[in-house]
Structure 1
Amino acid sequence: MISFLKKNWSNILFFGFVALMLIPQTRMPLQVFVQRLISFSPTETAENDRKSLQDYEWSLHQLNSEQINFSRSQGNVAIVNFWATWCPPCVAEMPSFQKLYDKYGQKVDFYFITSEKSDKISAFMSKNGYSMPIYLQIEEAPQQLQSEALPTTFVISKKGKIVINEEGAADWNSKKIQSLLDELLEE
């Protein structure tokens, strides 16, 4: 029996992992764990390739609050993240976003955009102790901020330049991102 285990340990681990992925209660936590392991700092768009946000008119409804317009962020540094509670890469990057928000929430406009039901979002935020500002999408985002992938995150400069357009999970609380935000805030 011991020789069988020694010869086949990698196969046993593989099939055990596959079995855990098939069980709904363990699938999401495993996917989130793996996404956190492979998340790196997002990539800044080359200066020549940056698009400008042309239209800031975008109505959003703040979770459990009033309707706002994205135009209030024109002239400010803004981070816009499209996410969902059922999306493992989205859930994986939320702790790093919370840390970034804790540090820059008074200086940078943060928008965490979802189209899920508000009660589901409220329960998720409460369960995880997150305090980031959540917005429900009322209408389509401006063309330059549209994406089919979740999560997708945009970092927008004071001048309206899209400095980062990142699809997939990333480590948003890295020194690289903090340095970039500091530079953008000084512009």
Structure 2
Amino acid sequence: MIRWFAALMLVLFSWVPAHAADFKWMDESGTTYSLDELKGEPVLVHFWASWCPSCRAEMPAYSEWVSNHPDIKVLSVSLDQKTENAEKFLNETGIETALLLSDEIQARKLGAQALPTTIVINADGDISQIHRGPRDWKNSEFSDQLLEVLLPEVQSAPLHSGH
């Protein structure tokens, strides 16, 4: 019984993400950034990789959603080990996004355990939503759920125009 309880506690604590400020990523030039630098504004962090079939399928709709919400701070972070692979995928699909890179260790710090993963961080720097696996970015309920945290000043107004 004690062994089972200890194993359960280990599993429960192993998936709890650290505070969002601990997450780091770098841009194409190798400059490293931290979420702590963005504290005070909500952020959507989307993890993907060019080798991930679900990511490849989801990316066009995700990219369109991001384009339709230019007032939201978004970090599209690739977990590709080679920059060239991520660049090639983005070029082939015509997706325009800054190439940001991180690794599995950093992604797990934020709570990503699968790809793709979308994480919403509120203005206080706390994780408010984690969505593991592919999502329907055209679904208004899902979009509204994200926007509720990402655009808190419009919570009382309808968030989706019905497109």
Q: Normalized against structure 1, the TM-score is what?
A: 0.61
Partner of 2:79: 114
Structure 1's 54 and 133: CA in aligned 2 closer, same or farther, altered over 3 A? same
What secondary structure is seen at the aligned counterpart in 2 of 1:154?
strand
- Whole-Å separation in 1 of the counterparts to 2:47 and 2:17: 19
Structure 1's 65 and 125: CA in aligned 2 closer, same or farther, altered over 3 A? farther
Deviations 1:78-118 (A, max 9, x none): 12222211111111110111011102233223232313211
Q: Which sections of structure 2, spanning at least 5 residues, go unmatched?
A: 1-15, 154-163
Out of 111, 117, 142, which is 1:146 matched to? 111
What secondary structure is seen at the aligned counterpart in 1 of 2:22?
coil
Deviations 1:5-58 (A, max 9, x none): xxxxxxxxxxxxxxxxxxxxxxxxxxxxxxxxxxxxxxxxxxxxxx88624133
Partner of 1:67: 32
1:57 counterpart letter in structure 2 = D
- Whole-Å separation in 1 of the counterparts to 2:114 and 2:146: 24
Q: Which sections of structure 1, spanning at least 5 residues, go unmatched?
A: 1-50
What secondary structure is seen at the aligned counterpart in 1 of 2:95?
coil
Whose radius of gyration is greater, 1 or 2?
A: 1
Q: How many residues align?
A: 137
* Moved beyond 6 Å, runs of 4+: none
- Whole-Å separation in 1 of the counterparts to 2:54 and 2:103: 24
Say which structure is richer in helix.
1
Q: CA RMSD in A?
A: 2.7
Q: Which of 52-61 and 128-137 deviates more?
A: 52-61
Structure 1's 164 and 58: CA in aligned 2 closer, same or farther, altered over 3 A? closer
